[in-house]
Amino acid sequence: MTHTRRRREFLSNFSRERNARRGEANPVLDFSGESLRVRFAPSPTGKLHLGSARTALLNWLVVRREGGKFVLRLEDTDVVRSSPEFEQDIIDSLKWMGIDWDEGPDIGGPFAPYRQSERMDLYREQVSRLLEEGKAYRCFCSPDELEERKRKVVAQGKPWRYDRKCLEIPQEESERLAASKPFAIRFRVPEGKVVVKDLLRGEVVVDSSEIADFIILRSDGRAGFNMAVVVDDITMKVNLVIRGDDHLTNAVRHAMLFEALDSAPPLFLHHSLLLGKDGAKLSKRHAATAVSDYRERGYLSSALANYLSLLSWSPGDDREIFTMEELVSEFNLKRLSASRAIFDIDKLNWINRQHMKKLSNDSLAGLVRPFIEKAGEKELQKIPPEKFELAVESVREKIETLSEAVEQLLIYTKKPDEITDKALEELRKTSDLDEVFDICLEALRENPGSSRDVAERIVKGLREEAKARGWGAKKILWVLRLGITGHVIGPDLIYLIMFWGSEGCAERMEAKRRIHELH
């Protein structure tokens, strides 16, 4: 595991260097008195993706653990694909997950605005500066021309990279042409090796000849992504950039831009990407990808965050279930792994179950209720609160998500005489059916009420009755279940009796016996 070694060496060098300067110790990160500033910068071109949520969570955990500020910045320069609805989804989803920010488009902050679309002048200013300093140049090649030249090069089997045609244009001519011809501005990539300091991967060295002169200002006057990001990270004083692996090569461009703008680059951490079962970047063809999808499906936010945190990270012991608070105190960058992470819904389901287990019946019932309303189950909504809580308690062990509770609870809305074919069949093949029915009804009538005691007494009594007759307990209890619910599966008998009361259960059994002629 090369990465482990490199990361640890780098981390220890990093802290040693800093600590020596300050003369004090900090276990992981130390910015020489500057406070930590991290950012999460999604582009509102879709709902908050699980992978982005993981990035946001990583940033949040680090900053809440180490102290510092968390900045939310919207990278909405793509006017066509960006939309306010997606922006809202991102904000709602982050909040739902328990991720909060100290500065952002909704709450402002000392470096506002926090939407790139509102910062264009700032970018143009810096682009002009680069242009004046000869670190950038105008490119008059039209998209069609570029396409044409690219096609020719590719046809010869050579890799295409911008050919610097416009770099040859003399300064005066460039300025003259600028008045009459549309142009974009490209960054003039300097020669030499570029080093990206990455907390996870050590120092990544790339020769700048690998990088083409990229666009920093489009011909329509909008700044390019790389330029906007760098100007923002400088002006917002971001000193740690945690983002996906897919930006590692961009980091090389960014490092060059920081240098060109006379700014120290932040420290980077490029985490591995979230992948689907087949190993490709997680996308809709693998599973639902939006955080809001999981919210709607009845996952607990704490479970989703817990699961996401466990990809590429472990506490170093066998513990796996953490609340958000526990994650903040346990999370440590030193234990983050650089290897890939495949999304596994089974594990998420299990973790969700573990989180639901920790909830009281009362809280769980409260969380289930909205799912019933959304499902439009009127009958379930009519159940009075105490009964509802009881009903939820009776199904909680059976469900993996909150929404699954709805279908499980439906058993409590069945009419007294309703029965499934399967249940009828089971009853009809029971020997001494009439007698067993009578035994059940008698036990129910002799113990009126709906308390747990009553329910337990009834079931216990029926067990003894079966034993006395030399039957298995199943012979009687199976009929009791089918008689009360009309279904072959369902909650524990104790709960059924408590829910309907022994009188109610007796009525339900009689209704079925009469209407379906069970003898």
Partner RNA sequence: GCCCCCAUCGUCUAGUGGCCUAGGAUACCGGCCUUUCAAGCCGGAGACAUGGAUUCAAAUUCCGUUGGGGGCACCA
Catalytic residues: 284
List the interface residues with RNA, window 382-401 (CB under 7 A): 397-398
- Based on CB atoms, which residue is closest to RNA, 151 or 340? 340
Residue among 15, 83, 208, 249 that touches RNA (CB under 7 A): 249
Which residue from 356, 361, 362, 360 is spatially nearest to 402, judged by alpha carbons?
356
| Residue 488 touches RNA, criterion: CB under 7 A | yes
Token look-up 């693998």 returns: 286
d(CA 162, CA 168): 13
Q: Which stretch binds RNA (CB under 7 A): 91-99, 285-293, 472-480, 505-513?
A: 472-480
| Residue 463 touches RNA, criterion: CB under 7 A | yes
- Based on CB atoms, which residue is closest to RNA, 17 or 207? 207
d(CA 186, CA 224): 10
Tell me how far, at minimum, the Cβ of 106 lies from RNA, in Å.
18
- 26 close to 42: Cβ distance less than 8 angstroms: no
Residue among 492, 503, 507, 510 that touches RNA (CB under 7 A): 492
**Side chain identity at 298, as an amino acid letter?**
G
Residue among 104, 491, 505, 512 that touches RNA (CB under 7 A): 491
Residue among 490, 502, 512, 513 that touches RNA (CB under 7 A): 490
- Based on CB atoms, which residue is closest to RNA, 68 or 447? 447
| Residue 184 touches RNA, criterion: CB under 7 A | yes
| Residue 310 touches RNA, criterion: CB under 7 A | yes
Residues 481, 482, 487: CA angle, nearest 5 degrees: 105
Helix axes 84-97, 301-310, angle to 10 degrees: 90
- Indicate the length of the chain as a whole number: 519
Question: Of all helices (H) and strands (E), which one includes residue 356?
Answer: helix 345-357
Residue among 10, 60, 313, 388 that touches RNA (CB under 7 A): 313
Tell me how far, at minimum, the Cβ of 398 lies from RNA, in Å.
4
d(CA 385, CA 388): 5
- Based on CB atoms, which residue is closest to RNA, 262 or 278? 278
| Residue 380 touches RNA, criterion: CB under 7 A | no
Token look-up 């379930």 returns: 380
| Residue 153 touches RNA, criterion: CB under 7 A | no
List the interface residues with RNA, window 67-126 (CB under 7 A): 75-78, 81, 116
| Residue 195 touches RNA, criterion: CB under 7 A | no
| Residue 272 touches RNA, criterion: CB under 7 A | yes
Tell me how far, at minimum, the Cβ of 148 lies from RNA, in Å.
13
Which residue from 284, 306, 288 is spatially nearest to 297, judged by alpha carbons?
288
Residue among 312, 352, 401, 403 that touches RNA (CB under 7 A): 312
Residue among 60, 225, 388, 499 that touches RNA (CB under 7 A): 225
β-pair type (184-187, 215-217): antiparallel
List the interface residues with RNA, window 119-148 (CB under 7 A): 139, 141-143, 146
| Residue 342 touches RNA, criterion: CB under 7 A | yes
Residue among 16, 95, 152, 161 that touches RNA (CB under 7 A): 161
DSSP notation for 178-245: HHHS--EEEE-PPSSEEEEEETTTEEEEEEGGGS---EEE-TTSPBPHHHHHHHHHHHTT--EEEEEG
| Residue 206 touches RNA, criterion: CB under 7 A | yes
Q: Using alpha carbons only, how large is the chain's radius of gyration in Å?
A: 32
Residue among 60, 70, 101, 183 that touches RNA (CB under 7 A): 183
Cα dihedral 256/262/268/273 (nearest 10): -40
Cα dihedral 236/26/322/48 (nearest 10): 20
Q: Which stretch binds RNA (CB under 7 A): 28-36, 220-228, 256-264, 504-512?
A: 220-228
Tell me how far, at minimum, the Cβ of 41 lies from RNA, in Å.
7
Contact map string, positions 440 to 459, toward RNA, x by CB under 7 A: -------------------x
Mapped to the 3 state alphabet, what secondary structure does 102-120 carry?
CEECCCECCCCCCEHHHCH
